[in-house]
Amino acid sequence: MSFQFRVFQRVAGATSFALLLSSSHLSARQLETFTFMFPVESVNQYHPFYIADKLGYFAEEGLQVSFQDAGGSSAAIQQVIAGNADAALPAPSAFLNAVAQGYDLRWIYSYQYANIFTLAATEASGITTIQDLKGKRVGVSDLAGGEVPLVRAVLDEAGLSQGADVQLVPVGDGSALTIEALRTGQVDAYSSNLFDIAAIQAQGIGMVTILPQEAQDFPANGVVVSAQMFEDNREKLAGFLRAVAKGVVYAAANDERAFALAADIRPEEFEDKAIARPSWDVARRLKTPPAALEDARLGSHYLDGFQAYHDFLRQGTEEEGALPVDVDLSKALGVSLIDAANDFDKAAVESAQ
């Protein structure tokens, strides 16, 4: 299987990066390369990573990071398994399915805590519950999209089945095709990530979230590596995670400046403020830890949420996208690098200009 991906061009960050190298007397040859796979291309959604690069946090750790777009969470994990990427940021559904299929992977840093996927109906449809979907059509980004296992499990829990009771229809990821399908009633509801929903609402289409609250609290994307990478390159991974954590801290403390930095990195993604601002708010909300982790270290895993999501994905049949076997979360969720990831002066990062 071949996977197409695009290397992100970070022209805006090159100047600050070069200045940092000059001031610290480093050369590109002294920096270790690190390839990181995102499931989709979005500076807005993943801004702490890009800000960490622009502010030189990766270079401080001796790393030259290449951000790449894998074209989906499953594809990102495949790149890690194939050894083409040092780490990736997949959705937990793709991660748990890969581990359940026998791949030895580790989830080493939790980046987003609220479920990035949702299920919403148009206000015009009158649908307010999952049970109301019987006999209806639900749009999804793609039949292999990361939201599909969640939709199937939610339907199964409500006593509905895909095909017999509810039709899943691929209508794109918040694109013009999606908007047309919702406006014309080709689909009555839509499931994708929260960023796509925000883009749809920005087009004036009212949406009502019908995903059960328990499912809304499931964890979202985190940093995943192979077990071998986890064991053999701990210092390298610790440096990468520490730089990411600094990016998270800086963005949280300097929201407006962080927004401006991100817009400078990828101007075209921020041209339409009606979409960029709601998407930014979604990104900020997703990386806010639940109350149970309020005083926990950055990157800590919400174990109760992971267990609930695991148990949820075990429902139904394997053909419907359910996990084929139980996953040992005590092994799959690596915690030994969390201390190192938080080993920096938080106040200094917050006050950085």
Tell me the two tokens of residue 67.
Answer: 């951000």
Same-domain status, 64 and 127: no
Same-domain status, 326 and 233: yes
Same-domain status, 232 and 340: yes
Full-prediction pTM beyond 0.85?
no
Structural domain includes residue 1: no
Same-domain status, 13 and 100: yes
First to last CA, the chain: 45
Same-domain status, 236 and 90: yes
Structural domain includes residue 186: yes
Taking the C-alpha atoms of residue 101 and residue 104, their distance in angstroms, rounded to an integer, is 9
Structural domain includes residue 32: yes
E strand or H helix at 170: strand 167-170
Per-residue pLDDT of the chain (353 residues; tens, 9 = 90+): 433 333 333 333 333 433 344 334 444 458 999 999 999 899 999 999 999 999 999 999 999 999 999 988 999 999 999 999 999 999 898 999 999 999 999 999 999 998 889 999 999 999 999 999 999 999 998 887 778 888 988 998 899 988 999 999 999 988 899 999 999 999 999 999 898 999 899 889 999 999 998 888 899 999 999 999 999 999 999 999 999 999 999 999 999 999 999 999 999 999 998 889 999 999 999 999 999 998 999 999 999 999 999 998 887 667 666 889 999 999 999 999 999 999 999 999 999 87
Its domain, for residue 277, covers: 6-114+219-350
Number of domains in the chain: 2
Same-domain status, 71 and 89: yes
Q: Is 204 helix (H, G, I), strand (E, B) or coil?
A: coil
Residue after which a domain boundary falls, among 168, 188, 216: 216
Structural domain includes residue 159: yes
CATH number, domain with residue 335: 3.40.190.10
Same-domain status, 272 and 132: no
Same-domain status, 254 and 314: yes
